[in-house]
Amino acid sequence: MQVIEWREGTLLFLDQTRLPLEEVVIETDDEHVVADAIKRLALRGAPLIGIAAAYGFVLALNKVSDPSKIPAAIERASVLLASTRPTAVNLFRALDRMKAAAEASLARPLHEFKIQILNEALALHREDESMCMAIGEYGAQLLPNAAVVVTHCNAGRLATGGKGTALAVIARAWELHKLKHVYMDETRPLMQGARLTAWELQRLGIPATLMTDSTAAFLMQRGLVNAVVVGADRITRNGDTANKVGTYGLAVLAKHHGIPLIVAAPTSTLDFELVNGSEIPIEQRSGREVTHIGGIRIAPEGVDVYSPAFDVTPGELISAIVTEKGVLRYPFRDAIERLRPERLPAV
């Protein structure tokens, strides 16, 4: 089973909230099921939620039988899917692309219109797959031999349409015999490291050790880490990077210990509309994700909780941003500007 797969008019995807204990596949032709899956993190990872939103868009328009209702359906699907999560820009980029493709095909007969938008979603998915390969290739070159790497959250197969971003770098370095060991942050509150990255690396046969998020500093202090490799949910024009909460702390620690921080992300993560990280909306998650684990209450009733899902790492703490188009170095502004897609005019 793939993480996400289009099969004859329906979408199949792994419910990631059930991993690693169960591999539950959800099959649906309802865009509301997709939107709900993104919200509850059954589908997560910035590139993957872009792909999922594209397929959700296709599902929504597949239901239309009266061509005059297409413009309203496009609008409804976009609003529904865009409202799922605020931080990862890939979601909005994918929806913009799907809308553009749909609008370009409005004059076609309905069945052709539907084929066109499905093709767009499939292309977006395939491009993501190639993007992962390229990121893995570029990123692996940056690691030293016998690298010992810390990674945070999950930026792997379960976060993309291919081999991942940070984990593609790690997997490619392993193939090239450059990687010695991976330490995985468990990544509270939702434990994507313990649940997802541990599961992926185990399947890849890559030697990896799980630790609490607080343990990374201890390893760095003892000189046991050569690099930190993470994904990204949104990167602004100056290289400021939103990623899973905890990334900023890792970045400060890496800087203090002279360890490079490598961000691996496709160019679809670049947000050319934002000048710097202070403009990135930060999703707040429910306190229950902190006070409960597996339905069991840990903290006392009535406790106040603060739970931002992401934080923003300033570009100056990032050694390299690895995209499918090559490696960017600080200061990032010019390099990022050169990656601006033609259809996005300079601000």
Where on the chain is the footprint of a second copy (CB under 8 A)? 20-21, 183, 186-189, 191, 194-195, 198-199, 202, 207-219, 221, 245-246, 248-249, 252-253, 255-256, 287, 290-291, 293-294, 296-300, 302-308, 311-312
Is 233 part of the annotated catalytic residue set?
yes
Q: For the CB of residue 208, give the shortest distance to a second copy in the complex, in Å.
A: 7
Identity at 130, one-letter amino acid code: S
Q: For the CB of residue 298, give the shortest distance to a second copy in the complex, in Å.
A: 5
Which C-beta is closer to a second copy: that of 157 or that of 188?
188
Which C-beta is closer to a second copy: that of 20 or that of 326?
20
Q: Do 125 and 51 touch, CB atoms closer than 8 A?
A: yes
DSSP state of 12: E
Identity at 151, one-letter amino acid code: T
The residues pairing with 149 across neighbouring beta strands, listed in sequence order, are 182, 227
Which C-beta is closer to a second copy: that of 43 or that of 312?
312
Quick one: three-class SS letters along 233-295?
Answer: CEECCCCCEEEECCHHHHHHHHHHHCCCEEEECCHHHECCCCCCHHHCCCCECCCHHHHEECC
Which C-beta is closer to a second copy: that of 249 or that of 260?
249
Q: For the CB of residue 92, give the shortest distance to a second copy in the complex, in Å.
A: 23
Q: For the CB of residue 283, give the shortest distance to a second copy in the complex, in Å.
A: 13
Q: Return the structure tokens found at 291.
A: 């006070």
Q: Which residues contact 47 (CB under 8 A, 6 or more apart)?
A: 90, 128, 131, 132, 159, 160, 161, 165, 266, 268, 269
Q: For the CB of residue 163, give the shortest distance to a second copy in the complex, in Å.
A: 19
CA atoms of 198 and 71, how far apart (whole Å): 44
Using alpha carbons, select from 122, 117, 97, 118 the residue that is nearest to residue 106: 117
Using alpha carbons, select from 335, 204, 189 the residue that is nearest to residue 263: 335
Identity at 227, one-letter amino acid code: A
The active-site residue, picked from 233, 240, 271, 311, is 233
Which C-beta is closer to a second copy: that of 72 or that of 303?
303
Q: Do 43 and 34 touch, CB atoms closer than 8 A?
A: yes
Which C-beta is closer to a second copy: that of 120 or that of 311?
311
Active site residues: 233
